Amino acid sequence: MTRTLALLLALAFATPAFAQVGKSLGVVDANTASEADLAAMPGMTPAIAKALVAARPFDSIVALNTFLLGQKLTPEQANAFYQKAFIHINLNTATGEEILLVPGAGKRMAREFAEYRPWKSYAQFEKEIGKYVDAKEVARLAQYTFIPVNLNTATDDDILSIPGAGRRMVREFKEYRPWKTPAQFEKEIGKYVDAKEVKRLWRYVVIQ
């Protein structure tokens, strides 16, 4: 590894934007990517991209995988698509089936991701997964994952790391503190976005 690459990877982990959702190194969120961008990805056609957007949000990568296989993509074609677009997996609750859909993760990472739960930060992820793979691979794997954001303590950068959240959700997430129940989240955030978007955002948060 060159000195420059090592420095860039170190900065990727240090920057606040890394926050609680793994920093993208090129993989986009399949729940928020544009139809045009999706259509240009491996295995996609304009018709499949249109159907994918209509079916969103997917509540897991397993659900997206089922959809893609139903569109007659082979597992190999789906895997190629996941190298460009994915549904983040929750490091603290992801099943083995979900982890195995991360390109290149394999059974070893299915075991290691589960072993070190509960995950609290990406510094922890870098340390523990770095025992098994180099920094470049740690960063590549991290972009497929998230650690739930605590609604009551999350920083602006934590919230902004959620795909599609933006400054509006920074304001709204903080305005209604203290959060106490999922029903409260549904009610208050539902004032600003539709039920599908509330459901999508809820995947990334936790109330503690």
CA atoms within 13 A on the CB side of 47: 3
Q: Whole-model pTM? A: 0.89
pLDDT, mean over the chain: 92
Whether the CB-CB separation of 134 and 190 falls below 8 Å is answered with: no
pLDDT (mean) for 33-48:
98
For the chain, give the number of residues: 208
Distance from C-alpha of 46 to C-alpha of 130, rounded to nearest angstrom:
39
Distance from C-alpha of 137 to C-alpha of 12, rounded to nearest angstrom:
13
Placement of tokens 């895997």 in the chain: 79
Q: What is the DSSP string of 9-63?
A: HHHHHHSGGGTTBPPPSSPEETTTS-HHHHHTSTT--HHHHHHHHHHPPPSSHHH
Summarised one tens digit per residue, pLDDT across range 8-35 is 444 444 433 346 999 999 999 999 999 9
Taking CA 181 as the corner, what is the angle to CA 176 and CA 184, rounded to the nearest 5 degrees?
Answer: 50
Whether the CB-CB separation of 17 and 2 falls below 8 Å is answered with: no
Summarised one tens digit per residue, pLDDT across range 98-153 is 999 999 999 999 999 999 999 999 999 999 999 999 999 999 999 999 999 999 99
Identify residue 129 by its one-letter amino acid code.
I
Cα–Cα distances in angstroms (integers) from residue 100 to residues 4, 34, 75, 104, 125, in the given order: 31, 26, 12, 8, 17
Distance from C-alpha of 30 to C-alpha of 45, rounded to nearest angstrom:
15
